[in-house]
A and B are shown apart, each in its own frame.
Chain A
Amino acid sequence: MDLTIAGVLTLDGLTNGAIYALLGIATVLIFTVTRILFIPQGEFVAFGALTLALFQTGQVPGTVWLLLVASAAAFLLDLRMLLRTPAAPGRARAVLRLALGQLVLPALIAAVCVWAAPRDLPILLQGLLTLLIVTPLGPLTYRLAYQSIAEASVLVLLIVSVGVHFVLLGLALFFFGAEGFRNPPFVDARYALGPLNLSGQVIAIFVVFVLLMALLKLFFGRTLYGKALRATAVNRLGARLLAISADAAGKLAFAMAAFIGALSGLLIGSTTTIFYDSGFLIGLKGFIAAVGGGLASYPATAVGALLLGVAESFGSFWASSLKEAIVFTLILPVLLWRSLYTPHHEEH
């Protein structure tokens, strides 16, 4: 082990760690706002990477049809809810708005995708389309799987999460097949940094990481929506008394999580081969980082994820057959420390 090797390992670890950090942050975001431990966070990574991969081969990705079917289902559910309320002056307009948002908009996205798929557009545009498809899947997941049981206990929500994970996994296999894909990089450039070989994609990962952290900070600190999310995270009932809709907050959190997941997928899609089931383990490592941050702190999650990435990288170098054990054992001292030094609350 010399400095060069240590440098390469650290860079590799930080690159992976940055992705884990993004997913960990999404996990924390969803948990604080909705109390859902969202196991399938990693699935959005696979959806993002593989949707882009199918665009690259000129096919219409199956996620487009998923988007259409899921939004139609959500539309019917919401319509039923609306029609059950007594007729009020604004109802017709509400139905119209619903139809516009959950039927017309997804249909438009789908139409654009079907048009664009065989046209071999620049990869950046295809990436943008991928984000347009995958991001709405987040709120739709919330609408279809969680909204009606939003008040249930954390355990029930967790069990539903496991179910959602398997549903999404099955859909991914159906849409993308069993074999993996690797995408071309967005930025095809290489820079020599001393002995290190820095690729454009790795730089893109770090830039997005820093940018997203800054944006989240601004969002939660300065905007009304961000403050509403924080209020819901602190006290759901209190937030509702202040006219913050818990459902809207949940959907917003899921939309952000799906966006972050899909973006992570686009970023790592060119550095590794992504299979339909690759997301789970990546998401799990993000989840571990989130647990390290007590499922509450964004900075602690980010730092934990970066450390996790570096530990994984050095672990694979020294004892590749024990790597997974090393990575997952790291959580034990953190949990011990937290259980000793964090005050306990009575859980709701």
Chain B
Amino acid sequence: MTLRKLLVPALVALLFQSTAQAEITIGVSLPLTGPASGLGIPCNNGLALWPKSIGGETLRVIVLDDASDPTVGVKNARRFVSEDKVDLIVGSAATPVALAMSDVAAQARTVQLAASPIVTAPGKDEWSFRLAQSNAVMAIPVVAHMKKHGVKTVGFLGYSDTYGESWLNDFTKEAKAAGIKVIGAERFARTDTSVTAQALKLTSANPDAILIAASGSGAAMPHKAVIDRGYRGKIYQTHSAASRDLMRVGGKDVEGAFVVSGPATVADQLPDGNPSKKFGVDYIARYEKIHGAGSRNQFAAHMYDAALLLEKAVPAALKKARPGTPEFRAALKEALENGGVTPVSQGIIHYTPQDHWGFTKETGLIMKVVNGDWKVEQ
């Protein structure tokens, strides 16, 4: 074999390698199986809305399943940074997993866009940004709505995990400031077959309203249990319950429920002045074209929003460095922090170097279940 015969393929390989390095590599880790798969699967569906390229650079997206397991999530994140040399990590949609992954992101100095409201230790989120609204931001419209409708006492019925606890904390703080008292807090597990006992205890205290902190179709069982006990007060649900599965499983029992949500899923009902309307309507149209009418959900919207953020941040970062380098990763972080106010389908994001939570206080709105459909409460 002559030298030339060896050289040509080597050159070709080099050529391809250099083009391969020019693309932007994104590692996505989502809970496609396991208890949080109800959040991860729609997120994965939302990836279909991503553009093929941003700022003239093609996107190479690697999706891995973290099985709702923090250990697997960390393994995925390590693979992303050491083998795939990603420029950005997206995920997870499960809070405990995303939290564990944030350590890897910080170590590898790679931006993480978490699709869940992770609460990190102070200063530990230097490289992590959230795509989901914090429970504290979502508690604001809930409390405001309660105050407007004369609610004085509230009972809490939530998951016995970090989601439930975090809602209880943030809500209690917000409610206290508004003069609303939390007079009972009961927990249940997602896999429980009955919450009759908890509903019984809560309704016998007879609060003006009950707040249920649960997700998706899992939010329907406690709701039905409370109604079964003859409760006639107002029932509130959190933004994890803001999907059609609540009506599908809850049926007529969830009629009249108040559900806090980001604007994305009800964008078509928003007034034209709302900055999220344009993006929300676009998201709904494109997503439902692929997945069918009524398939809209807030988790896919988080992925849609991620693309919006990147379309703003990536061109700015490309001016400073080439993808695949530590300089590019740092530039991406800087671009996100200095991007200013960015309206997205789920509200208005404003990241700063000090604040990686993003969503402003005007993000959440209250929807009411009327005839098996959402109606925005004005």
User: Quick check: is A187 within 8 A (CB to CB) of the other chain?
Assistant: no
User: Quick check: is B217 within 8 A (CB to CB) of the other chain?
Assistant: yes
Contact residue among B191, B194, B204, B216 (Cβ-Cβ distance under 8 Å from A12): B194
- Known A178-B38, A181-B249; further 4 A-B contacts with Cβ < 8 A: A12-B197, A179-B245, A180-B217, A278-B191
User: Quick check: is A313 within 8 A (CB to CB) of the other chain?
Assistant: yes
For window 195-225 of chain B, which residues contact chain A by CB distance below 8 Å?
Answer: 195-198, 200-201, 204, 216-218, 220-221
Which residue numbers of A lie inside 8 Å of B, CB to CB?
A: 5, 8-9, 12, 15-16, 19, 170, 173, 177-182, 197, 268, 271-273, 275, 277-278, 280-282, 313-317, 320-321, 323-324
Asked whether A9 lies within 8 Å of B200 as measured between CB atoms, the reply is: yes
Asked whether A320 lies within 8 Å of B216 as measured between CB atoms, the reply is: no
Which residues on A sit within 8 Å (CB–CB) of B201?
317, 320
Which residues on B sit within 8 Å (CB–CB) of A180?
216-218, 220, 245, 249
- Helix, strand, loop or mixed for chain B's interface? helix
User: Closest residue to B204 on the A side, CB-wise?
Assistant: A5
User: Closest residue to B38 on the A side, CB-wise?
Assistant: A178
Which residue numbers of B lie inside 8 Å of A, CB to CB?
A: 33-35, 37-38, 40-41, 160, 186-198, 200-201, 204, 216-218, 220-221, 228, 243, 245, 248-249, 251
Interchain nearest-CB distance for A185 vs B (Å): 12
Which residues on B sit within 8 Å (CB–CB) of A178?
37-38, 40-41, 216
User: Closest residue to B37 on the A side, CB-wise?
Assistant: A178
Asked whether A8 lies within 8 Å of B200 as measured between CB atoms, the reply is: yes
| Complex CA–CA separation, A281 to B190 (angstroms) | 10
Contact residue among A12, A182, A317, A324 (Cβ-Cβ distance under 8 Å from B249): A182
Contact residue among B160, B191, B200 (Cβ-Cβ distance under 8 Å from A321): B160
Which residues on A sit within 8 Å (CB–CB) of B187?
320-321, 323
Interchain nearest-CB distance for B184 vs A (Å): 10
Q: Which 9 A-B pairs have the closest CB atoms?
A: A316-B197, A178-B37, A317-B197, A178-B38, A180-B217, A281-B191, A12-B196, A321-B187, A272-B193
Asked whether B191 lies within 8 Å of A280 as measured between CB atoms, the reply is: yes
Which residues on B sit within 8 Å (CB–CB) of A19?
193
Asked whether B35 lies within 8 Å of A277 as measured between CB atoms, the reply is: yes
Asked whether B200 lies within 8 Å of A317 as measured between CB atoms, the reply is: yes
Asked whether B218 lies within 8 Å of A275 as measured between CB atoms, the reply is: yes
Asked whether A170 lies within 8 Å of B33 as measured between CB atoms, the reply is: yes
Which residues on A sit within 8 Å (CB–CB) of B35?
277
| Complex CA–CA separation, A152 to B187 (angstroms) | 43
Interchain nearest-CB distance for A40 vs B (Å): 15
| Complex CA–CA separation, A324 to B192 (angstroms) | 9
Which residues on A sit within 8 Å (CB–CB) of B186?
316, 320
User: Closest residue to A281 on the B side, CB-wise?
Assistant: B191
Interchain nearest-CB distance for A59 vs B (Å): 14
Which residues on B sit within 8 Å (CB–CB) of A281?
189, 191-192
| Complex CA–CA separation, A323 to B33 (angstroms) | 26
Asked whether B193 lies within 8 Å of A316 as measured between CB atoms, the reply is: no
Asked whether B33 lies within 8 Å of A273 as measured between CB atoms, the reply is: no
Which residues on A sit within 8 Å (CB–CB) of B41?
177-178
| Complex CA–CA separation, A229 to B221 (angstroms) | 40
| Complex CA–CA separation, A177 to B45 (angstroms) | 13
Interchain nearest-CB distance for A208 vs B (Å): 16
Which residues on B sit within 8 Å (CB–CB) of A314?
197
A268-B193 contact in complex given A178-B37, A180-B249, A321-B160, C-beta closer than 8 Å: yes
